[in-house]
A and B are shown apart, each in its own frame.
Chain A
Amino acid sequence: MFSTFDFDVIARSWQYLFFEGMKFTLTLTAFATLGGLIAGTILALMRLSGIKPLEWFATFYTTLFRSLPLVLVIFWFYFLLPYIGAWATGASRPMQVGALNSALITFTLFEAAYFAEIMRAGIQSIPKGQSAAGYALGLSYWQVMGGIVLPQAFRNMIPVILTQTIVLFQDTSLVYVLSLTDFLGAASKIAQRDGRLVEMYLFAALVYFVISFALSQLVKVLQDRVAIVR
């Protein structure tokens, strides 16, 4: 049955697929992971701060974003962000945000909710005695967090963080709704240009699988490697 297939289409388009499409996918994944991790850690600290308004905000934020489909949030921000921006800056016309910036902001905010829960679990996995020992030495809250709790929490959570990043890597393909050219978007365009839908989607699936599988193997290796000996 493969006799009618034309896999030559890949050879003709691989530069576009990887240097345009995959580059965008990886950039968005990296940006949202890093931004989401920083914002998520702050949210986790807020949620565990014991200060009610901060707790409420963080709980509301994480619950809200974890309860909405990502596609909906992407649309939402794409159409709303220009107006929010205009309102915030006092401009009379909607801001020009652009599909790319909109995607970066959306994914970062969305991932922050997930990373917040991961970091919260990570922080709670560190025995209370560790921070008590830090305080007993005269360290401040931020010194205890920055020097003792977060480094351990982060290390404990690396496998989970990486797993979430794999999910994110796949989810970035949803930017097709904004007509952005990520890897799947690029494959899709080539497929339709050359009328080679089956070949292209098979190839795209294979690439996603190989990368995700390789990363998940890395998770397994890391699980043993980064564990802190107690």
Chain B
Amino acid sequence: MPMIEIKNISKAYGSFKVLTNCTTSVEKGDVVVVCGPSGSGKSTLIKTVNGLEPFQSGDIVVDGISLSDNATNLNKLRSRVGMVFQNFELFPHLSIMDNLCLAQQKVLGRDRAASEAKGLALLTRVGLTEQAAKFPGQLSGGQQQRVAIARALAMDPICMLFDEPTSALDPEMVNEVLDVMVALAKDGMTMMVVTHEMGFARKVADRVIFMDRGEIVEDAKKDDFFGKPRSERAQQFLSKILQH
């Protein structure tokens, strides 16, 4: 059974189709990279996986739990699916440690000491142990995104979703975030990553999904995708972003 199954998802705003019959799946332990031109619906697709974006038809099944089933406890499901956003979305009024502890305490019911211990261990893992008492505004973008990854990991997620995690970063900070993600992938985390970082895809992806105009145009093994993408649109896209 795949960890994430996306079955025939469609979504439209009025007559404008954002997603059209998208079907794919992510096996446990796999890293799947989603790419495509802006406006192709890749961010929307990844946000449907934990129910942040509603969809009109089709179904999504995460770890055997259907999102369209009314009996599903969406909050509980979301607490098991980690998500990292383009703009980090750390809570600016809380310290780094409080950012890490908030959901552990409120959602998982961990006590403060256990939450802090977990938070500290994860900060060490992303190389930010010294920043625990600081506030998000005092950190660089790259540091904030690493904290955001730690915050998601603090919930012991069964899989992780990344929505363009390096797009809002200054170029010199991209690698520190990608390094954390590569390490995570090598630890066997199930990951679905929307990104333009083809180097990352080359390094750790198992499969690459190419989207355009709300459709999944290609869904191929990494080597096949980079070796010989079948569709013309994927070829054009690759040639554009790999030129430099």
| B54 CB → nearest A CB, Å | 12
Query: A136 near B76 (CB under 8 angstroms)?
Result: no
Q: Roughly how many angstroms separate A140 CA and B151 CA in the complex, as a whole number?
A: 17
Query: A138 near B78 (CB under 8 angstroms)?
Result: yes
Query: A152 near B52 (CB under 8 angstroms)?
Result: no
Query: A136 near B137 (CB under 8 angstroms)?
Result: no
Per-position 1/0 for A117-136, Cβ under 8 A of B: 00000000001011011111
Stretch of A26-34, A143-151, A181-189 with 4 or more beta carbons under 8 angstroms from chain B = A143-151
Q: Roughly how many angstroms separate A152 CA and B90 CA in the complex, as a whole number?
A: 12
Hey, which chain A residues are within 8 Å of B50, CB to CB?
A: 136
Question: Which residues of B from 30 to 59 have beta carbons under 8 Å from A?
Answer: 47, 50, 52
B92 is an interface residue with CB less than 8 A from chain A: yes
| B107 CB → nearest A CB, Å | 4
Query: B92 near A229 (CB under 8 angstroms)?
Result: yes
A66 is an interface residue with CB less than 8 A from chain B: no
Question: Which residues of A from 42 to 57 have beta carbons under 8 Å from B?
Answer: none
B244 is an interface residue with CB less than 8 A from chain A: no
Hey, which chain B residues are within 8 Å of A130, CB to CB?
A: 89, 91
Query: B93 near A132 (CB under 8 angstroms)?
Result: no
| B62 CB → nearest A CB, Å | 13
| A228 CB → nearest B CB, Å | 5
B75 is an interface residue with CB less than 8 A from chain A: yes
Query: B137 near A229 (CB under 8 angstroms)?
Result: yes
Hey, which chain A residues are within 8 Å of B137, CB to CB?
A: 228-230
Query: A137 near B78 (CB under 8 angstroms)?
Result: yes
Hey, which chain B residues are within 8 Å of A151, CB to CB?
A: 93
| B51 CB → nearest A CB, Å | 8
| A8 CB → nearest B CB, Å | 53
Query: B93 near A155 (CB under 8 angstroms)?
Result: yes
B240 is an interface residue with CB less than 8 A from chain A: no
Stretch of B79-87, B202-210, B228-236 with 4 or more beta carbons under 8 angstroms from chain A = B79-87
Q: Roughly how many angstroms separate A132 CA and B89 CA in the complex, as a whole number?
A: 9
| B95 CB → nearest A CB, Å | 12
| Option from B79, B91, B93, B136 in Cβ contact (under 8 Å) with A138 | B79
Q: Roughly how many angstroms separate A64 CA and B181 CA in the complex, as a whole number?
A: 54
Query: A229 near B75 (CB under 8 angstroms)?
Result: no
| B75 CB → nearest A CB, Å | 5
Hey, which chain B residues are within 8 Å of A132, CB to CB?
A: 47, 52, 85, 89
Q: Roughly how many angstroms separate A229 CA and B139 CA in the complex, as a whole number?
A: 10
Query: A229 near B52 (CB under 8 angstroms)?
Result: no
A222 is an interface residue with CB less than 8 A from chain B: no
Q: Roughly how many angstroms separate A137 CA and B135 CA in the complex, as a whole number?
A: 19
B138 is an interface residue with CB less than 8 A from chain A: yes
Q: Roughly how many angstroms separate A134 CA and B107 CA in the complex, as a whole number?
A: 11
Hey, which chain A residues are within 8 Å of B85, CB to CB?
A: 129, 132-133, 136
Q: Roughly how many angstroms separate A138 CA and B135 CA in the complex, as a whole number?
A: 22
Q: Roughly how many angstroms separate A130 CA and B136 CA in the complex, as a whole number?
A: 13
Closest to B81 in A: A136
Question: 10 tightest CB-CB pairs across the interface, nearest first?
Answer: A138-B79, A229-B137, A133-B89, A137-B103, A136-B83, A138-B107, A129-B89, A138-B78, A228-B92, A138-B75
